[in-house]
Structure 1
Amino acid sequence: MTGPVPELAERATACANRLLEADHVLLASHIDADGLTSAAIAAQALERADIPFETVFKKQLDEDAIAAIADTAYETVLFTDFGSGQLDVIGEYEDAGKLTPIIADHHQPADRETEYHLNPLLFGIDGASELSGAGASYVLARALADAQDGGAAAAADGGTLEAADETTARADNRDLAALAIVGAVGDMQASGGELHGANAGIVEEGVEAGVLETGTDLALYGKQTRPLPKLLEYATDVRIPGISSDEAGALSFLEDLDLELQRDGAWRRWAELTSEEKQTVASALVKRAVSRGVPASKIDQLVGTSYVLCEEPVGTELRDASEFSTLLNATARYERADVGLGVCLGDRGEALEQARTLLRSHRRNLSEGIDLVTREGVTTEEHVQWFHAGDRIRETIVGIVAGMAMGNAGISRSKPIIAFAEKNDEECKVSARGTHSLVGQGLDLSHVMSEASQAVGGDGGGHDVAAGATVPSGHEDEFVARADDIVADQLS
């Protein structure tokens, strides 16, 4: 079988066959939404293949973390959603016979080769916009199912299966496509309102397997869980004067519509509306946006492709890929990756309740952080803008705060934003966020973070639209100056 991404099929098969040779495997993964879904996909694929494994999570795969992994009793290590950028260090342990790395990642690789390296960037596929870490893990999972016992999940003639029944979807791991899409959405790959490239192939398999539904819908966060007034009030990606960030305005807008907006004394949610009711609200939103002078290009962004996990209950954060990914990020940012993994693996009891508690705290911290940045403002250079939160914003969420603050009063969306937060007594965490429009003009924050951090004795990387670094404390001004110069060259 060629799998969902034909370009990666041969390499995925090689990686799968090597996993099947292992007596046991250490699964090491990143902790954000993409990392958690990557780990969950890999874990289920390994379990179904009867390969013993243990899972560990790392917030950062630095030299100490790699040394600790190499010091374990595991000879075979599967890295998901990281590892490519650290291949130079991992390779030293591989050369010393300490481990055999198998990498399913989508980040920019270091200047080093290894045999079992599954990364879309090696095959001409954009890892920032076309395939996430979870997508790479999914490609590996599909190959692993096919490789077992000569391809038990494949058609007898060597072709691909098209049946969408639950048993078949589980046998060939297509049921894991839903998690791959959550990872891609969480990694901000739904640019222009939808997933494309290699991700589209995974979406297609998820739909065929009966675990995903797609459709054109309002492109606002919170359609499953937020009461309608809050859905509109908090929708700030496309700002509509008199509604966005305006509690009374959003309420008044809805009350002017001839709809049943409350039932049993409670506001209904978008997911509970009929198709006709959704059309009424959407049309009124567009009309209001036009009347208030919102640019046509922005109005177009009000509508996008929805990715629904159709096996999850309506009205829960697990049914919408965007809300699911936010829930997972909430567990990761507060060092409870185990909770996020539990949710991904189907725990709808204790793990889900813990995740929801963390999400409430996460939202509160984000709100306070955004208020802080908006109130104090940013320092504007010629090509970048930046702020230093010190210890007032957690270093694990400062990047999210920076991205969400863009567009607020005094914070431009026409320049990338760089955020600093205290990591420890000796180091600062740096997070950078841009826009897809800036990326289209040449911005590559992965390169910016890598080059600027190395210039001051740090290390960094990531994606073109979002990246991060760790730098020695006291070198922030030097870092900003270097980043400003690099961005100037990219956007010139």
Structure 2
Amino acid sequence: MDAPVPELEARADACADALRDADSVLLASHIDADGLTSAGIASTALERAGITHDVVFSKQLDDEEIAGIAAHDHDTVLFTDFGSGQLDSIAEHEERGDFTPVIADHHQPAEADTQFHLNPLLEGVDGGKELSGAGASYVLARALLSDEATDLAALAVVGAVGDMQTVNGELVGANVAIAEEGVAAGVLDTAKDLALYGTQTRPLPKLLEYASEVYVPGITNDQNGAMRFLDGLDVDLHDGGDWRTWASLDHDERQTVVSALVKRAVRNGVSGDKVTDLVGTTYTLLEEEAGTELRDASEFSTLLNATARYERGDVGLAVCLGERGEPLDSARELLRTHRRNLSEGLSWVKDEGVTVEDDLQWFHAEDRIRETIVGIVAGMALGAEDVESDRPIVGFGEKNDEEVKVSARGTPALVNRGLDLSVVMREASQSVGGDGGGHTVAAGATVPKGEERAFLDAAADEIAAQIE
């Protein structure tokens, strides 16, 4: 089978050779859904290749974290889903002989470089939309194992979806080639279906009530309205008294619901563009149990994010490595906690309100919202009915006594107009003595406490210069 991303084949082969030559490898990965799937893919590939390794996670790869990684007794360090942006610091350790770095990342590289560096941006492939960290890890796994790695394509798709790399509801670019390998391997199915979150696990009324993708008056955020809508359909939507899930419906039943939902949306003035968003490409993991969070790429990525936001990367990794039982139970409990905290966080933002300025809008949660979920809450707030979507939103959360976490979220429409939040976060944070980065539509930073206003001013200037 040909390489999934031919542009990266030479770099992937070089990185694979470096790993084979290592006495032992420390796998260091980012701790979000993309980072966890990256680690899962890389760890599985190393294990299959007979390469001894350990795994560590980090929320933010700064100089202190890199020094801690260097203190481990491994001659080679494989960085997944981060490392490119920290190459200046990594290169210093390499020059001192602390370790040989191998990097599989998709973030903007720093000025320094290293011999074993797998990053789509270095070969003209868009790392923000076309290949995630998990995708880069998958390309490396294929170089290590050839066709024996194709079953890992499903995890790579979970990582890409979790990294918000879908465009108009579906993956694009190199991610498509990886998904096709997953389909060919029999571990993944792609289909056009209702593009709402929770099709595997949410009872139908909750699926429609909580759907934030498209606001349908009388159904979205309306429990009784959603139930009345479903009760009015000529479909048996109950199973022994309980509501069925979308996953349990057959093709004809789904068609009936979608048709009625589209008619209701159009009748209530929902725009044609929004109505088409109701249907998109879904990514189903065929080896996972139907009706569970792991069956759907979007729900799987949310489960992993829940473990990451509460510093339980070990749990998320165990699930990615195929462990079920206790690890999956723990992940589900973390997800329940995560959802409760998100709901409380969003309610707080709605109650306190968002400060709207010319080029951005912002809120400061202080210690009322965990700094690890401020970005998710900001994204949810941006999609809320009473928050403007014509400018990015910035959320602040207390990180410690000296630092504040900053998270920014935009929309695809703003990105199409020139918005690049990775640049905004990097430039604005560095102007006040902090550091940051990320992607065009979602990025983060850490800044000194007390510098929030100066940060906002710098961010607003950068946004104004970007957006047409």
Q: TM-score, normalised by structure 1?
A: 0.94
Alignment partner, residue 239 of structure 1: 215
User: What do the CA deviations read for 1:156-183 (whole angstroms, capped 9, x no partner)?
Assistant: xxxxxxxxxxxxxxxx200000000000
Alignment partner, residue 300 of structure 1: 276
Alignment partner, residue 156 of structure 1: none
Work out whether residues 377 and 410 of structure 1, in 8 Å CA contact, stay in contact via their aligned partners in 2: no
Alignment partner, residue 180 of structure 1: 156
Q: Does 1:37 find its partner at 2:29?
A: no
Q: Write the distance in 1 (CA, Å) between the matches of 2:385 and 2:365.
A: 18
Q: Write the distance in 2 (CA, Å) between the matches of 1:280 and 1:488.
A: 46
Alignment partner, residue 410 of structure 2: 434
By how many angstroms is 1:194 displaced? 0.3
Q: 2:343 aligns with which of 359, 367, 390?
A: 367
Q: Does 1:327 find its partner at 2:266?
A: no
Q: Kindly tell me the number of residue pairs found equivalent between the two proteins.
A: 468
User: What do the CA deviations read for 1:360-386 (whole angstroms, capped 9, x no partner)?
Assistant: 000000001111111111111101000
Alignment partner, residue 188 of structure 2: 212
By how many angstroms is 1:407 displaced? 3.2
Q: Does 1:289 find its partner at 2:251?
A: no
Q: Write the distance in 1 (CA, Å) between the matches of 2:81 and 2:142.
A: 17
Q: 2:395 aligns with which of 408, 419, 444?
A: 419
Q: Which runs of 5+ in 2 are unaligned?
A: none
Alignment partner, residue 129 of structure 2: 129
Q: Write the distance in 1 (CA, Å) between the matches of 2:186 and 2:49.
A: 22
Q: Write the distance in 2 (CA, Å) between the matches of 1:343 and 1:427.
A: 32
Q: Write the distance in 1 (CA, Å) between the matches of 2:244 and 2:140.
A: 41
Q: Write the distance in 2 (CA, Å) between the matches of 1:55 and 1:206.
A: 25
By how many angstroms is 1:410 displaced? 3.4
Q: Does 1:249 find its partner at 2:222?
A: no
Alignment partner, residue 465 of structure 2: 489
Amino acid at match of 1:248: N
Within 5 A, what are the aligned runs for 1:338-377?
338-377=314-353
Q: Write the distance in 2 (CA, Å) between the matches of 1:139 and 1:284.
A: 42
By how many angstroms is 1:408 displaced? 2.2
Identity percentage over the alignment? 67
Amino acid at match of 1:96: R
Alignment partner, residue 75 of structure 2: 75
Alignment partner, residue 107 of structure 1: 107
Q: 1:310 aligns with which of 286, 291, 300?
A: 286
Query: What SS does structure 2 have at the residue aligned with 1:86?
Result: helix
By how many angstroms is 1:274 displaced? 0.6
By how many angstroms is 1:319 displaced? 0.2
Alignment partner, residue 395 of structure 1: 371
Q: Write the distance in 1 (CA, Å) between the matches of 2:390 and 2:102.
A: 39
Alignment partner, residue 234 of structure 2: 258
Q: Write the distance in 1 (CA, Å) between the matches of 2:227 and 2:176.
A: 37
Alignment partner, residue 423 of structure 2: 447
User: What do the CA deviations read for 1:123-182 (whole angstroms, capped 9, x no partner)?
Assistant: 001101000000000000000014xxxxxx5xxxxxxxxxxxxxxxxxx20000000000
By how many angstroms is 1:409 displaced? 4.4
Q: Write the distance in 1 (CA, Å) between the matches of 2:73 and 2:383.
A: 50
Work out whether residues 422 and 429 of structure 1, in 8 Å CA contact, stay in contact via their aligned partners in 2: yes
Query: What SS does structure 2 have at the residue aligned with 1:191?
Result: coil
Q: TM-score, normalised by structure 2?
A: 0.99
- The CA RMSD over aligned residues, in Å, is 0.8
Q: Write the distance in 1 (CA, Å) between the matches of 2:280 and 2:82.
A: 29
Q: Write the distance in 2 (CA, Å) between the matches of 1:16 and 1:127.
A: 20
Alignment partner, residue 175 of structure 2: 199
Q: Write the distance in 2 (CA, Å) between the matches of 1:134 and 1:409.
A: 33
By how many angstroms is 1:263 displaced? 1.2
By how many angstroms is 1:225 displaced? 0.1
Q: Does 1:469 find its partner at 2:445?
A: yes
Q: Does 1:21 find its partner at 2:13?
A: no
Query: What SS does structure 2 have at the residue aligned with 1:358?
Result: helix
By how many angstroms is 1:75 displaced? 1.4
By how many angstroms is 1:244 displaced? 0.5
Q: Which runs of 5+ in 1 are unaligned?
A: 147-152, 154-171
Query: What SS does structure 2 have at the residue aligned with 1:393?
Result: coil
Work out whether residues 29 and 82 of structure 1, in 8 Å CA contact, stay in contact via their aligned partners in 2: yes
User: What do the CA deviations read for 1:72-101 (whole angstroms, capped 9, x no partner)?
Assistant: 211100000000000011011111111110
User: What do the CA deviations read for 1:295-320 (whole angstroms, capped 9, x no partner)?
Assistant: 11111111100000011111000000
Q: Write the distance in 2 (CA, Å) between the matches of 1:296 and 1:55.
A: 47
Deviates more, 1:205-214 or 1:410-419: 410-419
Alignment partner, residue 160 of structure 1: none
Alignment partner, residue 64 of structure 2: 64
By how many angstroms is 1:71 displaced? 1.6
Work out whether residues 374 and 409 of structure 1, in 8 Å CA contact, stay in contact via their aligned partners in 2: no
